Amino acid sequence: MRVNVAGLVLENPTILASGIIGETGESLLSAFEAGAGAVVTKSIGLEARKGYSNPTLVELPFGYLNAMGLPNPGIESFGEEVLLAVRGGATVIGSVFASEAEIFAQLSSKMEAFGVSAVELNLSCPHASGYGMELGVDPGVVREIVLAVKKSVTVPVFVKLTPNTHRIIEVAQAVQAAGGDCIVAINTLRAMAISIEAGRPILSNIFGGLSGPAVKPIGVRCVYEMYDVVDIPIIGAGGIETWQDALEYIMAGAVAVQIGSGVGRRGLRIFKEVNSGLERYLKSRGIESLEDLVGTAHA
């Protein structure tokens, strides 16, 4: 079930999403060996960051609410982790976050030097001041960042977008106009939970990002809307736990899917399960290639 995502050829359409077990070379490799077609690193910044204090994660019946605070070791120390995964044979996509275009460009160029096959710009973390979605809701800012990164790397540039805006279409168009190679939709939704015993918000950061099955219809809607207006490939993400979920995203217009919370909720076997389900579906319908199903929900 080989798929071509902006020139990047993957053995299958399932990708480990950023933020779940993407902190070390070993864990990236374990997801790839479990059957992911590619793996995305935890978002990496210029300097080391400890992240927020606990609690950083709330498990809900329908997904996760998290606010880690972009913890990471800084780009210089992350090189060895990427190298380990790449040497082990994994196709690695390097996720980066920054507060301005030039730093995005610098981080992306380092990631390329470490050996990643693509970079993914985090323009969508829903709760870190000065980062992520604060930039990713503004088409002008998105354009400037993508332009700067495109000048600094030769690998494909993926841009992960936030659903926390009414301007997602304009943002997607800005990514394409600036030469971005692929859109990843969606990141988590800004959300919160309150402990009624303590009478206080549960997360130390108060606000976090909601992921998991609860957000799937929103992700599918975003992919469907964007597919009508952009020509670059879209990777679907948000609440995928079964091959049927993946197929829904593909029919909406996604060429591949990312799985994050699904790995936490179901384990690493999820990649093989989704892939074998999709293969069985193609076979039973006599469909040659998954690409024949991309966007077929559009009349």
> Of the candidates 158, 173, 100, 166, which has an alpha carbon nearest to the alpha carbon of residue 132?
100
Q: Phi, psi at residue 136, to the nearest 5°?
A: -75, -5
> Cis omega before residue 196 (within 30°)?
no
Rounded to a whole number of angstroms, the minimum distance from the CB of residue 178 to ligand DHB is 20
Q: Give the DSSP letter string of 124-161.
A: --SS-TTSTHHHHT-HHHHHHHHHHHHHH-SS-EEEEE
- Give the integer Cα–Cα distance in Å for 45 and 83: 17
> Of the candidates 60, 21, 34, 43, which has an alpha carbon nearest to the alpha carbon of residue 239?
60
Place of tokens 């070379």: 25
- Give the integer Cα–Cα distance in Å for 71 and 17: 16
Fill in the amino acid letter for 30: S
Rounded to a whole number of angstroms, the minimum distance from the CB of residue 299 to ligand DHB is 33
Which residue, 127 or 243, has its beta carbon nearer to ligand DHB? Answer: 127
Which residue, 94 or 132, has its beta carbon nearer to ligand DHB? Answer: 132
| Coil vs helix vs strand at 179 | coil
Catalytic residue (choose from 125, 128, 168, 172)? 125
Binding site for ligand DHB (CB under 6 A): 19, 43, 66-70, 122, 124-126, 132, 187-188, 209
Rounded to a whole number of angstroms, the minimum distance from the CB of residue 240 to ligand DHB is 15
- Give the integer Cα–Cα distance in Å for 23 and 78: 9
Give the tokens for residue 244: 């049927």
Minimal CB distance residue for ligand DHB:
125
Rounded to a whole number of angstroms, the minimum distance from the CB of residue 241 to ligand DHB is 18
Which residue, 146 or 293, has its beta carbon nearer to ligand DHB? Answer: 146
182 is catalytic: no
- Give the integer Cα–Cα distance in Å for 25 and 92: 10
Rounded to a whole number of angstroms, the minimum distance from the CB of residue 49 to ligand DHB is 9
Rounded to a whole number of angstroms, the minimum distance from the CB of residue 30 to ligand DHB is 20
| Alpha helices for the chain (secondary structure H) | 25-33, 75-87, 101-114, 133-136, 139-152, 168-177, 216-227, 243-252, 261-266, 270-285
Please give the positions annotated as active site.
125
